[in-house]
Amino acid sequence: MRRAVVMGGSYAGLFAARVLCDLAEEVVVVEPDAIGEDGLDRRTPQRRQLHAPLPMGHRRLERWCPGVTDELVRDGARLGEGEDVRFYVDGRLKAPVPEARTLGATRPFLEVRLRRRVEPLGNVRFVRAEATDLVLRGGRVTGVVMDDPADDGLLDADLLVDATGRSSRLGEWLGRHGWGEAPSTG
């Protein structure tokens, strides 16, 4: 594909950009916040809470960013392995998984290091802007409207990823364009 656009430059958006850079000629990450070197400038309420990717997420992170586990541990993340990793479901401790590995760190800590891996990729660029609507043509999403005057505030996309989290306005935008509300399993 020619261009993939990722709305949101958090952990999920950065990870999506990393994966998509192997599939698209260009990946554009649209992020409204000015993110400092320490990663603390984002408007996310859970910034200082401990984050621990589940083992499958950890394996995928290592797959797409080889050596990142050693880097994170060297910089201060905690690595749990085997019986040190405990999983609870509905408040009940599950049986240990001997091969389980997971990391523990704050979200900014993880995001900063992932951003350092994604930013230098030759076909990824970051745009500091806020997505404000979708562009639809022929019954499909073909881009995003931004509050950035560059590109006339429009950015065409062959694929659009919404990684804006709890603040997502995707349902509102689709409704504005005549699409019904997406079903919820909630």
User: Does an H or E element contain 60, and which?
Assistant: helix 55-64
> CA–CA distance from 176 to each of 95, 133, 171, 172, 179 (Å)?
47, 9, 9, 6, 7
- Cβ atoms 157, 24 nearer than 8 A: no
Q: How far apart are CA 46 and CA 108, in angstroms?
A: 10
| pLDDT tier, 88 (very low <50, low <70, confident <90, very high otherwise) | confident
pLDDT of residue 139: 86
Q: How far apart are CA 183 and CA 186, in angstroms?
A: 9
- Which positions ≥6 away from 31 have C-beta within 8 Å? 8, 9, 13, 126, 127, 128, 129
Q: Which residue has the higher pLDDT, 115 or 45?
A: 115
> How many residues would you count in the chain?
186
pLDDT of residue 184: 66
pLDDT of residue 166: 81
Partnered with residue 51 across adjacent β-strands are 105
- Cβ atoms 153, 146 nearer than 8 A: yes
pLDDT of residue 148: 77
What's the mean pLDDT in 71-86? Answer: 89
- Cβ atoms 58, 103 nearer than 8 A: yes
Q: Nearest to residue 30, comparing CAs of 149, 155, 166, 116?
A: 155
Q: What is the pLDDT of residues 145-169, one digit of tens each?
A: 998 766 678 899 999 999 998 888 9
| pLDDT tier, 100 (very low <50, low <70, confident <90, very high otherwise) | confident
Total-model pTM: 0.85
Does position 49 have pLDDT exceeding 80, yes or no?
no
The pair of structure tokens assigned to 40 is: 């603390």
Q: What is the DSSP string of 30-43?
A: EE-S---TTSTTS-
Partnered with residue 75 across adjacent β-strands are none
Q: What is the pLDDT of residues 102-124, one digit of tens each?
A: 888 988 888 889 999 999 999 99
Q: Nearest to residue 27, comparing CAs of 49, 8, 50, 48?
A: 8
Helices (H) and strands (E) in the chain, counts: 5, 12
Does position 16 have pLDDT exceeding 90, yes or no?
yes
